[in-house]
Structure 1
Amino acid sequence: MDDRGSKKRKGGAEKIRVKMRKRAAQTNSSVEESWRKGISDWKKLSTKLEKHANSLAHQNCMVKWDNFKQSSCGSIAAKLSDSHNATVEKNRSYLCKVVDIVRLLSSLGLPFRGHREANNSESRGNYLEVCTFFSKYDSDFQSMQSNYFNATSPDFQNEIIEICANLVRTEIAEKVQDTGFFAVIADEARSSKTEQLSLCLRYTEQFEIKERFLCFIDCSASRNAAGLVDAMNTGLEMCGLKNIPIVAQSYDGASVMSGQVSGVQQRIKEMHPYATYIHCLAHKLNLVLVDCCTVNRSVKTFLNVIGKLYSVFAERSNHHRFIEVQKSLNMKPTEIAQPSETRWACKWCSLHAVKTHYAAITQCLREMRDDGEKWSVEATGLYEHMARLSFITCLIVLEDILRVIHVTHKALQSSNLTLSEAAVLTENLKAHFVSQRQDDKWDDVWGLVKQFCRDNNISVSEDVNIQRQTPAGPEPVPPKRKRATQPPTALDSFLITTTLGHREETAVNAVQMSQSESHGFQQHLYFPVLDTIIGELDRRFTGEAVKLAQACAAVLRCDKNGIEPLIQKYAQPLKINHSLVGAEMDLVKASTVGDVTREHLQKTVTKAIYPNLYKMLQLALTLPVGSATSERSFSAM
């Protein structure tokens, strides 16, 4: 009885184990089958997930997983994670090097792509060639270069450049927001078939002047004042600066920019009432120069000859001959710069080249005027002009004048120049020309003319005949005389004290034609040019900008009696207390031995102790001088 019962119980237990094994096998097979085939009924996903979680197979796997994690071998996830981290670190190291290459080429302004970028191309472009160079010395970099994803596509390059540009613009915007106000500088130029607006900002970091290029904006669709203002607002809004006060704006003198009724400067003032318009001082000085070069017919003829000299010697064969002649005369080879109304430096450079290489130019022209030469007609005419006393006098006079103006032009293009310093420069320039309008100064100039003629084997007699030295001997050329015109009867009752606005044929000048040639050039050339420069400097460098410049100078020397123009205009928007500014200036002056300097102000004035004077100093440094920064950005375009 007992044996039979025991056997029955053992048989029943065995049957139960068999059934459980069959059920587990069926469950595992069903689970594996369902996940292997996939799920088509997504509504029952949660049910099937719960069924899988409760399945014996899943529970057995979880037990094994927990046992493995507790074993001495460590976690598979940890091993996989370590491998993943090493791969990420390797990729990041590679990308850092690639980004540095992009930054290097961008900062140097070099092109990225090549004409042909295939593997068998001899020159694949700067970017790919630098990457190939890196691969020679970095095995990891070389292995990454051979991968499918190697970060060398044009899209990747453009994306990195755009990211860098956005980071730079973001940092500029943060600096401007810390200051609280800025000045805007803009100009437009053509790039290929599009019109681009260069937008720049001027602001201060502490007391350091910063002029930063912000962006180019395509304004081809609308180049009128409204379109340009919209483009500027788009650029400022892109950087989060649209609501920051604009205290000044500087453009060139084009009517679309400087128009007082509906120009860009007037439309900006409607949005920012305190944005003073400052006409670029370098452009102003260039207009003075243009006017002085057109006041006299002899000057205009002289400049036409200079322009024709450039055209002749720009031709390949003539240029080669010019260089060889200079070498034969032991001169440093140079070229005649192309005349231009907007490139300010080229005016003096052209005249300086003609003056210093006069002998080489005339020798080339003598060789080129032989019969049968292609340029014989032009060379003959130019040689005749260059041998005239009027040409030599214009060369000496204008080269001296333009040299002084050239120095001022270069200074006015500096981004660190303050408005007060620019005003001092223009005043000094005018004072220089006023001092030059003296008889003794002209005697010095005339002495230089005669010395130049002697150095180049040209003899000038006192009766005004000039002689050219030729292989056949001296060749005298009588001076060209013009019939004197009758004076206007309207001037009979007037005493004329200046030559400004007069031509050399007027009666007042014609009276001098009977006197010496030196006196004639003084009255018909030297004085009219100087009078025009002085008069144009007086006329153009006046107005609100000059008053603000004087006030800025007063701020920088802590003179509270001269800052009223700035206080009246900017005290309200910048929240400057008029009374406290004067008190703060008194304290700073009391702590200074001698005159107040910018270096002393930088060390002494802090935002916490002198908040009002701090803002005034930043304002005086922020007001712009010109738009040269925008002009420079066109080179990158």
Structure 2
Amino acid sequence: WLSYDVGKDKAFCTICKWAVTNKHVLLTWAIDGYSNWKKGKSGVVKHNESKSHRDNATTKNVCDGRSSTSLLVSKKSYTKMQQNRKALDAIFSTMLLLARQGLAVRGHTDERSNLHAVMGLLAKYNLDISRWLNQSSFTWLSHGTTNEILDTLGSSVLNEIVNPIKKAKYFSIIADETTDLSVSTQLSLCIRFVNCDFTVNEHLVDLAVCPSTTAESLHQLLTKAVISLGLDLSDCRGQGYDGAATMSGMVSGVQARFKQTYPAMLFVHCIGHQLNLAVQDSLKYLRQGTHALSILENTVNFINASPKRLNNFREFKASSDATSTSLRPLCPTRWVMRLPAIDAFLKQFSVVLDWLETISSDTTIDPVTRNKASSHLMSLEKFEVYFMLRIFQKLLTIINPIHVAIQKRGISIGQVRSLIEQLLSTLFASVEDRQQAIDFFLVCERSAAQMGVQTPVLPRGVGRRTARIQATNHDDGTGGSIIELYSTLHCNIFQKAAAAIISRYCMPDLAVVSYIEEVLLHKHSDEAMAKICTLYQQDFNAAHLHVEQVQLKSYTAHKNLSISGIEDLRSLFASNESLAIMMPNISNLLKIYMTIPCTTCEAERCFSTLRRIKNYLRTTMTQNRLKNLVLLNVHQAEAAHLNLVPIVNSWIDQATVRKNTF
């Protein structure tokens, strides 16, 4: 089978050249030619013993029609191996399907598992799979084998994700923690990077158990995880975590430990988290606000706590032709996410009042329930409670779109800053526009009167006896003081929200982000350029950058293009690949800017997957198995496009018994 080409000075395998269309053929011996003469003898022996060469030799003998006993045995063996391979391919495909869909592989017994159920279904339509499952010898469906297959599939998906990151060079890390059902602290690690087409990507790459939650332990865990991916931390340009002192501490937190070694790893406290904390700061210390929210929460819990009461409320609501929206409990941690609960409650406010009145006066109901209903009714009939719920609804309606927008994967830090500035402008406009506050109060007052809510009154005085003033008719001016009270309350809430956002948004490393933006838009000061040149001295040449800035300005002027912001610059470089080649320093700085993380939402998204996969029935699975299942479920698109042929081949090559079977 060995031939030699004098002109090329290379050896070829005639059998593999004949079978060049076979997927398992070795291109070195079939097309390119073998020329490593230092290892000539060992190379020939190795190829002669390789599985692909033996398979091709058997196939060629069968096709040539040789009928010797050895060849007939080889033909039978080859046919059986091909049948076995079809069954193995089915096992890999089934495992991949179950993992992608987040379904359990095992069951109470192996015979009742999802893996055996799907394989049994396939066996009805494929004789090779049916024969494989019915054989008395190994079927390669043991727990150990399925774990190896999951590990192979998980590693393959991870390679598909990591390869573009290595090609992009610059990246940022995003991490967050949660506790699973087995009371283990799980740390999710995501990587943010920018492709050559200037598209931002964020991918989950690891899920690890934290042996300790100290800053030192988490720092070591993250470092080990990044290095295990084959990434260089010296290319890391950002880090994003929540506000826990362990992660964001300025002295010994995880971010501070990384910056001691890698100063260019700018830290961003999750801006979505910051926005939520700002809303919390502005509302939770307001007595009227916390009182109104507690009344809403207690009323919803009173209705939902009893199936009988809940069904009674639904029937009452259906008879009154009210909206079919269900009452929702308040989100315990995310204040911005309380908007849906407040919306649903206010839409059914009148129905809730009528239902509570009906329950409190129904003598067939036990006294305890009637008294609770009466208590909730008295609380909800106060104008102050209704007004505070309406003002919370207004404030969160303004903030919620911004909160949703900054959670997108592809958003840049510059776009986030622009959205925050627009939000602050809206909030300050509500503070300064006194007439808007008065109009809002009048609308709430009319709406409350229609539903039978009490008229607004001034709060009781403290200390000496004071006059109790009630609002009766605003046309004669007797209610002016009440309007003043509630309009001032309106303005104060919006002012506190704006002040809280400003104080939360003042992060030290965001100043560096502003410097980068100024340099990219050629609006920088000497201080900005000096800071950037010092921080990123390994990423670009300052002198070359200045030349490229002039070059870019001339290019945009010649093309009649306007670059007013970073997004315009990104679109320009994304639409013209040659610009990145012509201006590599600007291109690198732009990629660094876009690589800096904005939120930790991507790290938090996998927690939902974690809770679905590691449910109360599956709390004993090993960490490596859990990680692979989460990776395959989160990255469903990448898993669906995996080429299983080389993956299965690599798995077969790991053991001799597999080579002899498949």
TM-score class, shorter-chain normalisation, is 0.7 to 0.9
The alpha-carbon distance between structure 1 residues 343 and 158, as it changes in their structure 2 partners (threshold 3 A), is: farther
Matched, 1:167 2:156: yes
Corresponding residue for 2:208? Answer: 217
- The 10-residue stretch of structure 1 (164-173 or 292-301) with the greater mean CA deviation from structure 2: 164-173
Matched, 1:263 2:263: no
* Cα-to-partner distance string for 1:263-319 (whole Å, 9 max, x where unaligned): 111111122121111110001001111111124211110111122123212212222
* Cα-to-partner distance string for 1:55-80 (whole Å, 9 max, x where unaligned): xxxxxxxxxxxxxx9x9954433333
Matched, 1:428 2:452: no
Corresponding residue for 2:226? Answer: 236
Q: Structure 2 CA distance, aligned partners of 1:197 and 1:253?
A: 15
* Cα-to-partner distance string for 1:425-480 (whole Å, 9 max, x where unaligned): 111111001111111211231233034224424474xxx46xxxxxxxxxxxxx65
Matched, 1:151 2:140: yes
Equivalent runs, 1:509-548 vs 2, <5 Å = 515-523=480-488, 525-548=489-512
Corresponding residue for 1:571? Answer: 536
* Cα-to-partner distance string for 1:317-341 (whole Å, 9 max, x where unaligned): 2222232223223334333333234
In the alignment, residue 321 of structure 2 is paired with which amino acid? N
CA contact (8 A) 2:539 2:585 kept: no
Q: Structure 1 CA distance, aligned partners of 2:159 and 2:234?
A: 14
**Percent pairwise identity:** 21
Corresponding residue for 1:443? Answer: 438
Q: Secondary structure at the match of 1:321?
A: helix
Of 571, 576, 585, the residue aligned with 1:599 is: 571
Corresponding residue for 1:476? Answer: none
* Cα-to-partner distance string for 1:125-177 (whole Å, 9 max, x where unaligned): 43332222222222322222223433333333322222122122223332222
Q: Structure 1 CA distance, aligned partners of 2:143 and 2:288?
A: 57
**Unaligned 5+ residue runs, structure 1?**
1-68, 119-123, 466-478, 487-511
Corresponding residue for 1:326? Answer: 317
Q: Structure 1 CA distance, aligned partners of 2:487 and 2:423?
A: 21
Of 172, 176, 182, the residue aligned with 1:183 is: 172
CA contact (8 A) 1:547 1:565 kept: no
Q: Structure 1 CA distance, aligned partners of 2:512 and 2:445?
A: 46
- TM-score, normalised to structure 2's length? 0.73
Corresponding residue for 1:342? Answer: 333
Q: Secondary structure at the match of 2:448?
A: helix
**Higher RCO (C-alpha under 8 Å, 6+ residues apart):** 2
Of 243, 252, 258, the residue aligned with 1:253 is: 243
Equivalent runs, 1:26-65 vs 2, <5 Å = none
Corresponding residue for 2:32? Answer: none
CA contact (8 A) 1:302 1:394 kept: yes
Corresponding residue for 1:471? Answer: none
Cα distance, 1:555 vs structure 2: 6.6
Corresponding residue for 1:89? Answer: 82
Q: Secondary structure at the match of 1:392?
A: helix
The alpha-carbon distance between structure 1 residues 602 and 349, as it changes in their structure 2 partners (threshold 3 A), is: same
CA contact (8 A) 1:274 1:569 kept: no
In the alignment, residue 483 of structure 1 is paired with which amino acid? V
Q: Secondary structure at the match of 1:336?
A: coil
In the alignment, residue 484 of structure 2 is paired with which amino acid? H
Matched, 1:352 2:328: no
In the alignment, residue 504 of structure 2 is paired with which amino acid? R
- TM-score, normalised to structure 1's length? 0.76
Corresponding residue for 2:395? Answer: 401
The alpha-carbon distance between structure 1 residues 218 and 588, as it changes in their structure 2 partners (threshold 3 A), is: farther
Cα distance, 1:513 vs structure 2: 12
CA contact (8 A) 1:344 1:409 kept: no
> Which protein shows a greater Rg?
1
Cα distance, 1:389 vs structure 2: 0.6
Q: Secondary structure at the match of 1:129?
A: helix
Equivalent runs, 1:499-514 vs 2, <5 Å = none
Q: Structure 2 CA distance, aligned partners of 1:72 and 1:393?
A: 91
CA contact (8 A) 2:90 2:119 kept: no
Q: Secondary structure at the match of 1:278?
A: strand
CA contact (8 A) 2:304 2:310 kept: yes
Corresponding residue for 2:123? Answer: 135
Q: Structure 2 CA distance, aligned partners of 1:327 and 1:553?
A: 56
The alpha-carbon distance between structure 1 residues 336 and 394, as it changes in their structure 2 partners (threshold 3 A), is: same
* Cα-to-partner distance string for 1:532-565 (whole Å, 9 max, x where unaligned): 1111122121243433443455577x44537738
The alpha-carbon distance between structure 1 residues 588 and 540, as it changes in their structure 2 partners (threshold 3 A), is: farther
In the alignment, residue 532 of structure 2 is paired with which amino acid? I
Q: Secondary structure at the match of 2:124?
A: helix
Equivalent runs, 1:483-502 vs 2, <5 Å = 483=462
Cα distance, 1:383 vs structure 2: 0.9
Q: Structure 2 CA distance, aligned partners of 1:534 and 1:485?
A: 36
Equivalent runs, 1:247-396 vs 2, <5 Å = 247-315=237-305, 316-370=307-361, 372-396=366-390
* Cα-to-partner distance string for 1:379-431 (whole Å, 9 max, x where unaligned): 22211111111011111111010111111111121111100000011111110
Q: Structure 2 CA distance, aligned partners of 1:180 and 1:103?
A: 30
Matched, 1:611 2:584: yes
Corresponding residue for 1:60? Answer: none
Cα distance, 1:612 vs structure 2: 1.4
**Unaligned 5+ residue runs, structure 2?**
1-61, 466-476, 611-662
Matched, 1:417 2:411: yes
CA contact (8 A) 2:540 2:588 kept: no
Q: Secondary structure at the match of 1:375?
A: helix
In the alignment, residue 262 of structure 1 is paired with which amino acid? S
